[in-house]
Structure 1
Amino acid sequence: MSDGPRIVVAGAGAVGCFVGGLLAGAGHAVTLLARPRIQAEIRTHGLTLTDFGGMARYLSPDDLNLAGDETCLRDADIVLVTVKSRDTADMARLIACHSAPGVQVISLQNGMGNRAALAEHLPQHDLRAGLVPFNVVAMGQGCYHRASSGDLVIEAGPADLAARLSLPDLKVEERADITALQWGKFLMNLNNALNALSGLPLKAQLQDRAWRRLMADQWAEALAVLRADKIRPAMTTPIPARLVPTLLRLPTLIFTRVAATMLQIDPQARTSMAQDLAARRPTEIDALQGEVQRRARALGRATPVTDMVLRVMGWAELADEGLPHLPVTALRAEMAAGQDRQEG
């Protein structure tokens, strides 16, 4: 029996099962609060964790605590929130109802509104923002694969949470500038939608200069909106946010050399939004491109790339046919058509 903190992963999907599984495998007392489908997979097959560097861990069903009932939150010392952004407020209410004041709650989610949504319901908890820089792919039969590199980053605070949670295969860092770093990750995550619409593996998309140019245009547009709103994103990589569009527009041979760390990705990896669209699940487009559009409209700024991505992703979700496998020329044509409609 572990004498360390009791950890509940609230909303254990791909990221939650991977992070929670590694913590459980290292001897932490971990409960995965998960949907019935995921519980059934793990109870049948166990939990297999792999990564692009060759790591492989297996946990039998007997090694794991699985729960479908939020009352498991009563015993938590640390709650890792890994639900989709649209479910954050509901999860915050459950944590408030079932956990004790002072429990440490860490948001490991995409998007920028999650900490505020949690804080509204959890004023007496030790709340930390966090970011997950790596991509996790649900392979089926209880297998979750980390397909890209990076270490977890959480908001600095008391109790040295990073030291308590860090593992050889899951390093955790505390940073005081977490909000700026989250905005940098937010910009990176804007490609989730383009990757989903392309149907391409992420590495293949990054090696296609036409796609990178569209990624660069989207990044530059969003960065201009954030700066107009007095937001200064920071990056966990040595490349400043302002230089990323220039990097993306480089010829492929030069880009491949300069951005070698960005290309530490499994050849078949796709973004989380691509996985959601392929599985006919609602995407997090509103927490990403939707956030850019709302801020731009409040500032009176035009965002033709963002508007186009929101339109096309909306059509893809309504079609409910999985990944649309659109060529980049189709997205460029729709962006031009959208601008023509606006001007007409």
Structure 2
Amino acid sequence: MRKRPSCGGALGNSQPHIVIAGAGAIGCYVGGLLDHAGHHVSFLGRPRILDEVRKAGLRLSDYGRGEVWRAPGRLDLREDAEVLATADIILVCVKSSATAQMGEMIAAHAPDAAIVISLQNGMGHADTLRAQLPDHDIRAGMVPFNVVPLGEGRFHRATSGDIVIPAGAGEVAGMISVEGLRVTQSDAIEAVQWGKFLINLNNAPNALSGLTLQEQLLDRDWRRLMADQMAEALGVLRAHGCAIRSTTPVPAGLVPHILRLPTPLFRRIAARMLTIDPKARTSMAYGLIGGRPTEIDALQGAVIAMGQAKSIPTPLCSAIHAAVKRAEQSGLVPQTPDSFRR
């Protein structure tokens, strides 16, 4: 398809066209708040979720705030990638395994002036997009919070934090910062991403535990497993010379020590870590419950591969990776922390 020019580009358009490329939990939540704030937003997604939204609209809630509702008739819901043809800003929210396919769609349809921001878990997605989109401004973002899909167009934000994107041309962060959704810029986005990557390694243990995040964090045996897994990953990242900027109030290297503390002391020191919806689970938990593929290869799988490159064993990440793969094939059976010790 021959590309059409953008509507002036995100830097020169007072009302940029924002396309949510991957209308899943994060995409619907972020896009819904942008739409509620008056932005021109289109949602590119699959029928499984878009059909729910077509019937019920979008209901967005936050554990510390009220609810936002966007009526179905007010939303631009698309299944055809041609919607990318007039995009000024593209927020990529697909699962890791779909990044290359989305890159192909953007290459085929989007104008070169469109700014592409990856809001995906894991590392390397921006590099995948750059390889396919050499003429675009590609930025790797970090989303610190998780969003729970509750069905019937309802999406609930269960944890806190601000989205971070790289500094770059224009005031993109300001453009997409709205009430309830703050976006900041960083000149060390890769270090920020590695900090979030370490936290995201708990997606799999939480999914396999069958517990809520709060229940898991208040169980010292699970916290010890989380700590040992993080320490294992930290050793691998440091061997590769990765800069790490913590997304918690304490340095990444101290988090394993805090997790290992007795529960009464942990409660006092890590109060902010417990400021989450009591019913919240990680996105991987909901994926396994729903029988969908997970992002385990982009998380524990990445640590395993990086460890192999430096001849560093990663027994915990390997055991957790294998357990998630079994759950993808045979269904989720709750595990205990001892299940991963050898």
TM-score range, shorter chain: over 0.9
Q: For 1:153-205, what per-residue CA distance to the aligned partner results, in whole angstroms no more than 9, with x for missing partners?
A: 00110111111111121000010110000001000000000001101011100
Distance 2:242 2:228 in 1: 19
Other structure's SS at 2:161 match? coil
Matched, 1:89 2:100: yes
The correspondence for 1:74, drawn from 85, 89, 96, is 85
**RMSD across aligned positions (CA):** 1.0
Matched, 1:28 2:39: yes
Q: Which residue number in structure 1 is paired with residue 215 of structure 2?
A: 204
Q: Which residue number in structure 2 is paired with residue 244 of structure 1?
A: 255
Q: Which residue number in structure 2 is paired with residue 326 of structure 1?
A: 335
Residue type matched to 1:222 in 2? Answer: A
Matched, 1:224 2:238: no
Long gaps (5+) in structure 1 = 337-344
Q: How does 1:54-203 map to 2 (within 5 A)?
A: 54-203=65-214
1:316, distance to aligned residue in structure 2 (A): 1.2
1:324, distance to aligned residue in structure 2 (A): 1.5
Stretch of structure 1 that moved more, 207-216 or 302-311: 302-311
Other structure's SS at 1:32 match? strand
Q: For 1:306-335, what per-residue CA distance to the aligned partner results, in whole angstroms no more than 9, with x for missing partners?
A: 11111111111111x2x3111222233xxx
Residue type matched to 1:237 in 2? Answer: T
Distance 2:133 2:16 in 1: 19
Long gaps (5+) in structure 2 = 1-12
Distance 2:83 2:26 in 1: 19
Residue type matched to 2:337 in 1? Answer: V
1:71, distance to aligned residue in structure 2 (A): 0.3
Other structure's SS at 1:138 match? strand
Residue type matched to 2:339 in 1? Answer: A
Other structure's SS at 2:141 match? strand
Other structure's SS at 2:280 match? coil
Distance 1:89 1:294 in 2: 20
Distance 1:115 1:330 in 2: 35
Higher helix share: 1
Distance 2:242 2:50 in 1: 40
Distance 1:8 1:306 in 2: 35
Q: Which residue number in structure 2 is paired with residue 292 of structure 1?
A: 303
Distance 2:213 2:95 in 1: 21
Matched, 1:314 2:325: yes
Distance 1:280 1:180 in 2: 32
1:3, distance to aligned residue in structure 2 (A): 4.9
Q: Which residue number in structure 1 is paired with residue 29 of structure 2?
A: 18
The correspondence for 1:214, drawn from 225, 245, 253, is 225
Query: TM-score scaled to structure 2, two decimals?
Result: 0.95
